Each structure stands twice: as C-alpha cells, then as structure tokens.
Structure 1
Amino acid sequence: MFGYENINLTFSFNLIFFIISLLIIIAYSVYVYKYTLPPVSRFRRFFLAFIRIIALTLLVFIIFEPTLVLTEKKILPPVSLFFIDNSKSMQINDGSKRTEVVNRFIDDIINTDVKGEKKFYSFGSRTDAVAADSLNKLNFTEPSTNFAQIIDIIRNSDDNISTITIISDGVITDGSTPFYSAQRLGIPFFNLAVGDSSRKKDIELKNVLFNEYIYAQTPTAINAVITNNGFAGKNVSAGLYEGSNLISQKNIILDKSGVNSLSFEYTPVESGEKKIQIKVSVLDNEASALNNNKSFFVNILDNKINILLIAGSPGADLTFIKNSLTEDPNLKVNTLTQISPNRFLEQNQNLLLDSADIIYLIDYPTQNSDNGFLTKVSDKLRNKNIPLFLLLSSDVSPLKLKTIEDLLPISVTQIENNYLQVQPNPEFNESSNPLLNHSSESDWNNLPPIPQAISNIKVKPEGRVIVKTLVSGQPRSNPLIVTKNLGSKRSIVVLGNEIWRWKLQTAQKNIKLFDSFLLSSNRWLNAPDEDKKIMIRTSKKFYAAGEPIDFSAQVYDDLFNPLSDAELKLNISGPEYHDEIILSSIGNGLYEGSLSLTKNGDYKFSGQVLFDNKNLGYDNGTFNVGDVDPELLESRMNFDFLNQLSIETKGKTYVNTNTDQLIGDLIQANQDLSKEKILTSEIRLWSSEILLILVIVLFSLEWFIRKRSGML
C-alpha cells in the first residue's frame, strides 16, 4: 500500500480506551445539539455536532500519543569495494612492473560486468573515494600505507558490501594490522598481491636498541643488528654519527648466518636532544641502499644531578640515604645537617642550596630550624620547580612545614610524639608505578616495621597514595608513601622514619628494595616534565619528503585550566628554510596545524604563546625530513600479510599473473548476493503542529457558527 510493506498505527494507551472515549464524545455531542436555544435548522445542528465530534476526537487522539509506523522493503544490490594502494612503494622497480599491473587490473575490472555496483578507493596515509574515470590519475606518491583506515571505511558504510578487493604490495608503514577487525566484518577479502616476494641480495640495518634518556659525560651502549642475504664474508663498515659528526666506526665481516650484532659506546658531551645515526656502507648489487642506515633522537640529561639532603639532625636515615644515592655515578650528593638552631654541620649552605637539582628533607624542618634559611629553601623549591622528597617524623614542625605545604601532596595539622609500628602495603592498582615496579609485592611484605608518628594528615586531591600501611599484619587506610605530579612540580612524602631498617634488616636476604626505591624515586623526580603549561609536539620525529607534518599543542594557565583563546605562533627553521605558522584552536586548550616540506634535513620549531598581550611561555623541538622514507625501506611484497588477511575473512589472495582468475571469482562471488533491507520509520502524529492547528480551527469554527446563530 502506497509503496509500503506495512502501515501500522499505535497508541501509548490501550486502543479500547480510545474507542470508549470516541463513543462518549459522539454521545455527548449528539446530546448537546439535539435541542438548541434558539432553535436552529436540523442541518446546522448536525453540522455543529459533527464539528465538535471531530475536534474532540482529534484532541483525544493527540492525548493518546499516536505513532504511525511505516515499514518499507528495499532490495539492496551487491556492492564490490576496490581499495588501490597509492603509496610510494608501488613505484619500486623490482621487475614486477607494479604500476602497470595495477592499471591493467583497473581497466579490466571497469570493463567487466560484475553484478551490482563497483566503488573505488585509493589508500595510503589516508583513504579517499575515487571515481572510476579518475583512476588513471593515481600518482602513487602517498608517504605511508595504512590498512586500518580501510576497515573504518567499510564499517561506516550502509551499502550491501559483497566483496572487498585490495590491490597492494601488502607492506604496512603506518597503523596496525587489521586481522581481527577485518574478520568481524564478515565480508571476504579478495586481494591482489603486487610486487616480488623473493628475497634479494641485500644488507639491512635491522634493529637499534638504545636508552631514550641518557646522561651527558656518561658512556652508554647503542646496539644494532645487521642482516645480510648473499653477502656472507664481505667487509662493511658501520659508523655512529651525532648529527653529521662521526663518533665511532667499526669494520665488520658479514656472517654466513645472515646476522651480525654490534655495539657502539656513546658518550654525549652536553645535554639536549640529539639526532643519532648508524650508517652501514653500501656494497655493489644491493637491492636497496635505503635500509643501510637508521636515525633516531635521544634526550641527553645533565651529566651530574646535584642532590641536597637537608636533615633536622644527624641520624641513621641521613647516612643510609646518602650512601644509597652515592652508588649512582650520575649523582652528586651533598648534605646539610642541622646541629643546633641557626647552625649546620657543613659550610656554604647557600651555595649548596643554589646548586641543588633535587632536595631531600629528612626530618626537616624542626621547631629549631632557622626561618630565614627555610624561606630560602621554599623559594628555591617554588621558583625553580625543584622536585622534593620529604621524610616525615614527629621531629618535623607542622607549623614550619606550612611554608612549603603547597608543594606537598598532603596537608599536616598535627604530629604527635606517639608512634605506630607499620609495614608498607602497596596499593594493588599501583603495581606498575615506576617507584614500586622494581620490586615484587613479597619484597615489600617482607620489610620490617618502621615507626609512623600518629598525625592528623589529609591527602590533597592532586596527591596519589601508592603505599598504605599494615599494623600487626592488618591493612589500614593510613598512607605511607604519597606522590604529587602537578604541572612541573613533583614531590614524594614518606610518612615515617627509620627507613634505614629496610636496608639493614634485609641485607642478608639480598633484598635491594631500599636502594631501588630511592634511585627510582630520584629518577622519577628528575624525569623531564610531562605536564608543562605549554606543550608542542609533532606527530612523529621522522617524515618523508612532502609528507604532511602535523603539529599539536596544549596550553594551560597557571592553575592548569585549558586556554582556548591564546595565540600560538610556531617558527620552523631548517636547511634554507624559515617560516611561521599559526596553530588553530580546536577547543579545550588544544591547538593544531600542519605543513609540508620537500627539502631533506633536520628542522627545529619554537612556539610562543600569547594571551591578553602577555607572553605565557614557549616550547620547542626538532624533527627530520627525508632521512627515513618507510615506503622505500622494504622492497619485498608482503604476500604473507595479504594471504593471512584473506584467510581470516574466507577470501583469497592472488599474485600479479592471476588477475583473470581474481575477476572470475569476483563475478561468481557476487551472484545472488542481493538482500532485502527492512526500513522502518516512525511518525509521531501527536507532536504534529498541523493537528493542533486543526483542533483550534474546528473549535473556532464551532464558536463562530454558534454566535451567528445567537446560541450561547
């Protein structure tokens, strides 16, 4: 009826009540107009009764919230999707004539009568729909290959997709392998594998292992693995470069096993972000020279971190903490030991304070601590964003602790001179915390009890309790170790003293927890800022020439509320290049922008943020264009990936020479794959303005006729 399979009218209430209401309306209207004053003609009485019946019926109709349900059956023809790899790797010359194979298949499939509709897409760094008459304009220049985006396109389609065909070399250079998500689609993948999968004579720098954060003036190892096929016994040289400067070079005889491992010793001179390269010399007849080198960035930290231990009095905790920290050659540990009011055991207090990179307060400040020096400590912590470690005992003065309380994860109002003997009880969800993951839970449980002063302590919202307490083996809610990481301010508080017991009484059990905890705490406190007010990043460190370089930024005020109305200028400089771009706000303190660069080399960027004509700060970084082109590193077709993808989806993968078989299988797979789709639409009649207007018009018409007839 009217092109619909089914038309149904439903009410919010039982239909019987609507029928009863309708009968009452009819009876009432007939009764009202059976006799009128003054008397009017029978036709007029009938007409007025009819108007009232219709008006009241419509009114009740609206009250019963009627909904008109229309059901339509639609026949969906099968749709075949074709995804064509438009990345640079399709231009690799391996003798298989990749682009010719692709173009020939496109011509064949366009001119083949496959049942249903055919839709074409190109994919690389992004996936785009392509009209059939524009397929000959594909330029195979996309800087990366992302298969995961194909799944997103398919998942969001409303078409009756019958088959999916991917024409590619199967080499993924961006995103993840989509096996699981492709399998869940329930649609077969018929893939055309383009290229040569045979292994050619080649040398490849396969893996490089290094620490992302290393210290200046401290030797570190950079390890690499070199693979070869067909060059066993040949001599090559491998060089380690910092920027363009050769740091070390080694001569290697390529092993017949096909694998060589080598290690470079690298001692950075100064701090900062450095680009490191390993280059392996190129031999004649190599399939590709592009995979003979790798580049990466490392962060060089200051060579010696100055640790200042300020103690309220001489004691075992001070001695054990100092001895533990001095085991790290990258740390320079100084102490200031209070021996009387206004006096320390060591000299040059101000000089030691000024040079401190991390400050440990051990049972300090006490009631006798000098207010003037305490103010200097507070200013140093606050103005220089110096990280803080506090060991809290009953000797600490809560009143004087107020001077630095805003830097702590806790607030303290009272510390009694009474103690509980407590053992650490790490929080279950903190097992991966960098302060705890160096030791097992059993190691923590085997630690001896330490005294914890009975105190009135409140953990702040930004505080994070990572260890609570056990008293006589029973869990308590009292915190033992609390951390804070807000903006560029970090602090750790241990609510107890005599932690030297953790070292002394576990030495025979060979438990290194005490040393590991302190050294991990030190690394965490000195880690590069993760939560700066201004953060500007590139999406990655290495880009191919012409690839879009995406910048993202986050901007916050002093209270770390996001700022969305700031102006963010970004200056980019590199080889014979200098430009400035403005990053656009996308809300919630987030900004983005992009550009493309075609000249190879190292580039630097520096961003400045202005708000209300005030400079809020800046951030900077580096990236590289051209050193790494992932599309050209792997010249072999990855048949295994394409074949596994088709197996997971109950499809099939074909090689270059089997395009006719692929087309034949596509024709067969699309037979009888049309399907019915039931479309249901609901029209809420009770919310229709037309019905309300009609009710008003009918009542108005009734009133008008009654007035003209002299009726009340």
Structure 2
Amino acid sequence: MNLFENIRVSISGSPVLLFLGLILILVYSIFVYKTTLPQIRIWLKSILVFIRALALILIYLLLFDPILITTTKNKIEPKNLIFIDNSKSIKFIGNNSEVNKILNLSEDLKTQVTNSELFTFSNEIKTLKNIDSLNFNNSPTQFENIIRQIKKTQNVASVTIISDGLNNQGVDITNETAQLGIPFFTIGVGDTATEKDIEVQKITANEFIYSGRKTEIEVSISNKNLTGDKAEVQLIENGKLISQQEIILSETGINRLRFSYSNETEGEHKLVINSILNGKENNIQNNTKSILVNILPSKQKIAVISGGPSADLSIIITTLSKFEDYEIFPIVQTGGNKFLNDKNDLKVIKEAEIIFLVGFPSKSTNANLLKSVFSEISNPNKSVFLAFSNNIDLDILNDYKNILPFGITQISNTFGEAQISPQNIAYSIIGNSEEIKNWEKLPPINFTKTKINPTADSQVLLIENSAQNPILFTNSTKQKFIVLNSANFWKWKIQTSEKQFQLWDNLIINSIKWLSINKDNQKFNLKTQKKVYSIGEKVMFSANYYDATFEPVNDAIIEIEISSENNSHKVVLNSLGNGLYEGEFIPNKSGKYNYKTEINNSKFSNSFIVEPVEIENIVKSSDRNFLRQLASLTNGSYFDLTNSSELSNKLNLLYENKISYNSTDNELRLSFLHLILLIVILLFTIEWLLRKIFRML
C-alpha cells in the first residue's frame, strides 16, 4: 500500500536570484501595460499583465532546471507461510477424523491469518489454492523443500508446518532453521503410540567378496513392544533361502546376529534379510531389507618375469606370496632357453592383470620371450611394475622406448650407491604424510649411472640425494606404469628396523592397488548415493567426467538408461561444473534396476534395488519431538491438532509487529516537459489575440 506524504520543488540555481528575477518579471509586465493605446479597462489590463508575467516566469523557471519531487510512503507487509504435509504417511499413521481436522484447520488459517500463503509439501512444494485439493497421496516427505521455499520468499513473518514430522528423505533441517531467524509454528498430526513392530534395521557386509571365500553378514533387528517374542531371520540369495536363525527379541530393542556367506559364482548378487514374527504385528512393510554384493575372481593374477635369479627377485616374489589375494606366476630365465623350475608358459603373460619385470630384459633373454612380453606390455590395458635390478640390459630395453614412460641416454652398465629421499607427496603409493619421512632412514641402494628421463607427465616419488635422479616414478597417461630405477632394493626389506620394515610391503600392496585401478573409471565415474531404495524414494545419480589430461569436462551429454524387469527409463544428467554431473529418478515399482551409459565408446553399468515398500509406509507413528525441536530452536510454538485455536491470533500478531514502511521519492524534471513550452506558446497566443481584438498597438 502506497501513501502520499509530501511534494516539493528543487532548483539548481540560487533561490535569491530566482526571487529577484520573478520580481523583475512582475515589474516588467506591469510596466508594459501601464499605458496602452487605446486605453483599456482595468480588468483587461490585469489579465494581460497576468498572461505576460506567467509566460515569462515559466520561461525563467526553466533556466533553473526545476525538479518536482513527490514522496510516497510504502507499507511493507510480511508474509505468513503455511506448509501442509500432503504425503501418504498422514493417512497411514492418522485416521479420517484427523484428516478432516487438517482440512478444517487449513481452511481456518487461510481465511483468518492476514497475508498468508498456503503450500503443500512432500517430494515438492506446490501452492495450495483450493483446500479440497489436499489428497495426502504423495511420496516421499522432504522438509528441505520448505527451507528452499522460505529462502525464495522475501519478508517472512512466520512459518507454520502441519505434519507428522516424518522427514523420510533429504537432509536434517534443524540446524538450518535456527539460522533463518524466523519463528516456526508446528502442528503435530498422527498417532504417537508405539505399536508392536519388528524391523530389519541394518545389514552390514563387504560390497566386494572374493569367490569361494567365507565372509560374515551382520544383521541388526529392532523391535518395539515385543520383548521375549520369537522371530525367524532368513538370509535369501537371488530368491533362494541360504540360511535361517531363530532369535528371542531383546528387551533392549536391538538383536544383532551374523550369517556366514560364501559364493563361487562371480558377479553381482542380491542378498535379502527377511524377518518373520511368530505372532501379530501391525506393520510388515519394514520386515525385509536387501543389499547387493559383488563376487570377484578368487585371486588377482600377477606375472613376475625376470632375466635371471637375484635377491631383488626373491624379495618381490616373497612379498607377493604372503598375500592370499594374489596368484603369482613367475617366469625366471636362467640362461638361453632355460627357465627356473621349467616354468615358461607364456600364456600366463596374456592372462595376467599385472606384470612385474625384474631385471628384464637381460643379455641372455631370447627373442621369443622378448616378443611375447613386450607385445603384451604394449597393450594399454596391461599394468606394469618395472624394477631394474643388477642384471637388466638397458641397450635391449631401449629398443622398446616407444612404449616406456621414460627416455634412456648415456647408457652405462655400472651402478652407484645412493641414499634416497621422498618427494613431498602425501597419500601416494609410498605412504601417507606420516610414513613418507621414514624412507630417508632406509639403507642405501644402487642406481644405474645411465640417464633415466621420466616423461613430463610422470610423477616422481623417490629421488637419490646427490644428483636428484629419479628412483621411483609412476605414469598413467597411456597405461599404468611404475618404474623402480634401482638395484639391491632387497635391503629395504631385510636391513631395516621394525618401524621401517613395513615400508616395502606397503609399497608393493599400494602399487598393486594403483595398478589395478581402471583408467577409464578414473576419468569417468557414475554411481548412486546408495544401493537400496524404497518405492517413491528419489534415486540420485552423480558422475565425474575428465578428459585424457584429467581436466574436467563440463559440456558432455550424459544419458543414463535405466531398466527393470518390464520397464526402461532414460535420465539425462545436468552439468554442475568442474566435471560434476547430477540427475534423479523416482522408481514406482520394486525390483532390481540396472543402469548404464556409454562415454567415448566405453560402457559403464551398475545397479540398485528398490524394496517392495513405500517409504511413507515404513513408520507408523509420528515424530512430534522433531516438530517440537523446530519450534523451540526458532522461538516458535508447538501445537497439537486439537488445541491449535490460538495459532491464528499469534500469526496475526507477528504480522502486525513486522509491518514496516519506507519512503520513495519520485522526481519529475520540469525542463524536460514539452507541455510547459506549449503552455508558454499558448499564453503568448492568447495575449496576441486579446491585443488584436481590442486594437491595441
């Protein structure tokens, strides 16, 4: 509402000069008509003086650039925002009587609260124009949507929430509401009584399990008002019962149990925990929970190829053999076509995921072995750990420089002794920031006098102290490569104190982990926030995308194809900048969902599970403590649905107290108005006509 306050005129010149000019104009006009021919009556003379003076005054005023300023007072009215929970849980935990009370209260607030705006909320915010449109049929409930709407609205006096308090998707808003500085008035809906209920609360298991290896599935079962009752808990895999246990429900409300699990079949498997109560239960929707586990090949295949036996070779094989997760295939040449223990099956090179080259090639390496090894190494999908050792022949190695991540110059067959220092790189394969300083305490090793020049995109991790030559470096531009430019590194394992004893083992383990990471997965990663959802629960997809130089790609079109048993959907991810993408999907049926996409001819796929229960139906009692907390943190008030009659008065009082006013000046520059010039011309015209009519000279 705008109220007129005052009006004033501003000029750019001196008021004194303006006043003197007006006096002179008036005197001049009187003087002009003091004596006329012929003589005219006094009334006509007065009219002519007035017309002449007014015309000259208007012209004179324009010289001072007059500005007409009007001031209006603006009334700023705050808004009372009212949010009504329109989710399915309102009907699920309430009754018809409460639903009618919500409708009546909403109508009262709409008509009685000054400057109110009504909204419904669940998975989205909608303006409520007609109370009869409330159907309590949406899912899920997201209180964070209320915060977004408040932030979009200016000058909010109060926020009223009518809800059961079940925030079953999204973030906790309690901290954010306290920072808004707006009082929240909450009205609790639904039954707060705790009914008899058993729930599969949590399943804990390794996401990745090696084939044939036993692991444990830990399950947490919660109960309400069922102390001492018996229940059956089942482990089901791909629809088949695997194991079953009977439990007596604890008075603490939580039972924890373990299932032993193993599987020989590689791939992704769905595990279901199902609880069965031997008695009446009010809610069976939360008796089942699922997870997905990935069964991996039993062992990672690693080929160790050497040009001859050495202490360095022995320490690498010994270290690798300590770990059950690795299957080691050594090929050690002892001269000519002879191999240690007659193991020379070159098929293992092709089958191996990682290849260790130790002192390879040597002078005695035959052409057939050279061809087989470097043919496989040229495959960008093969990961390589190259350790020089004493018996390496750098002249032969230099013949394959086109596939190596370093250059070789000034070839020499001699080795020098060196003490090493780590580069300041935390959390690399040489350890974290606490561990890398221990590398300086290791005994000296030998390094080749040949000049080894890592490519510019390599990451140098260890150097020798005197000439700063690289000792250990990695490269992942074309393929995953780790190079250890040293001999007699067995000393790092044998001649060390107990504190440094683990540095070598950790180097090998971390190297294998780094070499095992798929490069494409580094450049592109697609995942969901979790693996198991409920019907109607929002599935959020997030992706990271980088180019060959690992610079973020922000303009890609990433389309995800989602398929279930009888349905398929497509979701296009939105770019958030910095190589990040995001999209969402809301499933309306239960089952296993597979999703996939293709980037630069590389395919990426994964899956998630949707449980056969709507998220709104999992809980059967309202969370009024949450609503009370919102009101308390914001200096508001909590009401039960039956005693909310005073709410309208409180909201109207807040509205009155928060009304504010501001004044607005509107300027009108008179010198820009053509109307004034037209008036001046009109006045002079009228004066001329009067003089003609009365035959004045």
Same fold (TM over 0.5): yes
2:224 partner amino acid: N
Which of 644, 651, 660 is the matching residue for 1:675? 660
Which of 306, 330, 337 is the matching residue for 2:332? 337
CA distance 1:581–1:151, shift in 2 (3 Å): closer
The whole-number CA distance in structure 2 between the counterparts of 1:190 and 1:516 is 57
CA distance 1:139–1:80, shift in 2 (3 Å): same
CA distance 1:462–1:650, shift in 2 (3 Å): farther
Which of 184, 187, 210 is the matching residue for 2:182? 187
For residues 521-549 of structure 1, the C-alpha deviation after alignment (integer angstroms, 9 at most, x for no partner) is 32343346662777665565444445666
1:4-15 matches, cutoff 5 A: none
CA distance 1:75–1:485, shift in 2 (3 Å): farther
1:301-700 matches, cutoff 5 A: 301-340=296-335, 344-345=339-340, 346-366=342-362, 369-370=365-366, 373-383=369-379, 385-392=381-388, 417-419=414-416, 421-423=418-420, 425=422, 427=424, 430-431=426-427, 436=431, 440=435, 447-453=442-448, 463-464=458-459, 467-468=461-462, 471=465, 481-484=472-475, 489-506=479-496, 508-509=498-499, 511-527=501-517, 531=521, 537=527, 541-545=531-535, 572-575=562-565, 577-579=566-568, 581=570, 583=572, 598-607=588-597, 616-627=601-612, 629-676=614-661
Query: How far off its partner does 1:477 sit?
Result: 7.4
CA distance 1:419–1:593, shift in 2 (3 Å): same
Secondary structure of the residue aligned to 2:255 is: strand
Query: Quick check: 1:238–1:279 contact (8 Å CA) kept in 2?
Result: yes
The whole-number CA distance in structure 2 between the counterparts of 1:73 and 1:268 is 78
Question: 1:259 aligns to what?
Answer: 254
1:110 aligns with 2:95: no
Question: 1:212 aligns to what?
Answer: 207
Taking structure 1 as the reference length, the TM-score comes to 0.72
CA distance 1:376–1:315, shift in 2 (3 Å): same
Query: Quick check: 2:84–2:121 contact (8 Å CA) kept in 1?
Result: yes
Question: 1:119 aligns to what?
Answer: 117
Query: Quick check: 2:169–2:537 contact (8 Å CA) kept in 1?
Result: no
CA distance 1:627–1:451, shift in 2 (3 Å): farther
Secondary structure of the residue aligned to 1:333 is: strand
Query: How far off its partner does 1:244 sit?
Result: 0.9
Query: Quick check: 2:536–2:614 contact (8 Å CA) kept in 1?
Result: no
The whole-number CA distance in structure 2 between the counterparts of 1:147 and 1:496 is 60
The whole-number CA distance in structure 2 between the counterparts of 1:291 and 1:165 is 31
Secondary structure of the residue aligned to 1:660 is: coil
The whole-number CA distance in structure 2 between the counterparts of 1:457 and 1:652 is 74
Query: Quick check: 1:565–1:585 contact (8 Å CA) kept in 2?
Result: no
Structure 1, unpaired ranges of 5+: 10-14, 16-56, 58-68, 686-712
Secondary structure of the residue aligned to 1:142 is: coil
Secondary structure of the residue aligned to 1:290 is: coil
CA distance 1:568–1:245, shift in 2 (3 Å): same
CA distance 1:674–1:401, shift in 2 (3 Å): farther
1:357 partner amino acid: E
Query: Quick check: 1:312–1:366 contact (8 Å CA) kept in 2?
Result: yes
The whole-number CA distance in structure 1 between the counterparts of 2:604 and 2:448 is 43
CA distance 1:679–1:520, shift in 2 (3 Å): farther
CA distance 1:261–1:370, shift in 2 (3 Å): same
- Of residues 438-447 and 162-171 in structure 1, the stretch that sits farther from structure 2 once superposed is 438-447
- Of residues 284-293 and 327-336 in structure 1, the stretch that sits farther from structure 2 once superposed is 284-293
Query: Quick check: 1:545–1:626 contact (8 Å CA) kept in 2?
Result: yes
1:278 partner amino acid: I
Query: Quick check: 1:542–1:623 contact (8 Å CA) kept in 2?
Result: yes
Taking structure 2 as the reference length, the TM-score comes to 0.73
Query: How far off its partner does 1:676 sit?
Result: 4.1
RMSD: 4.6
The whole-number CA distance in structure 1 between the counterparts of 2:383 and 2:489 is 20
The whole-number CA distance in structure 1 between the counterparts of 2:175 and 2:226 is 38
Which is higher, the Rg of structure 1 or of structure 2? Answer: 2
CA distance 1:172–1:478, shift in 2 (3 Å): farther
Query: How far off its partner does 1:587 sit?
Result: 10
The whole-number CA distance in structure 2 between the counterparts of 1:71 and 1:392 is 87
Query: Quick check: 1:5–1:73 contact (8 Å CA) kept in 2?
Result: no
Query: How far off its partner does 1:518 sit?
Result: 2.4
Query: Quick check: 1:392–1:496 contact (8 Å CA) kept in 2?
Result: yes
- Of residues 586-595 and 184-193 in structure 1, the stretch that sits farther from structure 2 once superposed is 586-595
Structure 2, unpaired ranges of 5+: 14-62, 64-68, 670-697
CA distance 1:181–1:587, shift in 2 (3 Å): closer
Query: How far off its partner does 1:360 sit?
Result: 1.9
The whole-number CA distance in structure 2 between the counterparts of 1:123 and 1:650 is 23
The whole-number CA distance in structure 2 between the counterparts of 1:74 and 1:485 is 66
Query: How far off its partner does 1:248 sit?
Result: 1.7
Question: 1:129 aligns to what?
Answer: 126
2:256 partner amino acid: S
The whole-number CA distance in structure 2 between the counterparts of 1:655 and 1:460 is 71
The whole-number CA distance in structure 1 between the counterparts of 2:150 and 2:195 is 36
How many aligned positions are there? 610
Percent identical residues:
29
For residues 300-323 of structure 1, the C-alpha deviation after alignment (integer angstroms, 9 at most, x for no partner) is 221121111123432233222222
CA distance 1:209–1:142, shift in 2 (3 Å): same
Secondary structure of the residue aligned to 1:291 is: coil
Query: Quick check: 1:419–1:451 contact (8 Å CA) kept in 2?
Result: yes
CA distance 1:423–1:579, shift in 2 (3 Å): same
CA distance 1:624–1:668, shift in 2 (3 Å): same
1:106 partner amino acid: S
Query: Quick check: 1:435–1:524 contact (8 Å CA) kept in 2?
Result: no
Query: How far off its partner does 1:333 sit?
Result: 1.0
Query: How far off its partner does 1:410 sit?
Result: 5.8
Query: Quick check: 1:216–1:270 contact (8 Å CA) kept in 2?
Result: yes
Secondary structure of the residue aligned to 2:102 is: helix
CA distance 1:441–1:677, shift in 2 (3 Å): farther
Secondary structure of the residue aligned to 2:264 is: coil
Question: 1:93 aligns to what?
Answer: 93
Secondary structure of the residue aligned to 2:357 is: strand
For residues 24-46 of structure 1, the C-alpha deviation after alignment (integer angstroms, 9 at most, x for no partner) is xxxxxxxxxxxxxxxxxxxxxxx
The whole-number CA distance in structure 1 between the counterparts of 2:8 and 2:495 is 83
Secondary structure of the residue aligned to 1:314 is: coil
Query: Quick check: 2:78–2:658 contact (8 Å CA) kept in 1?
Result: yes
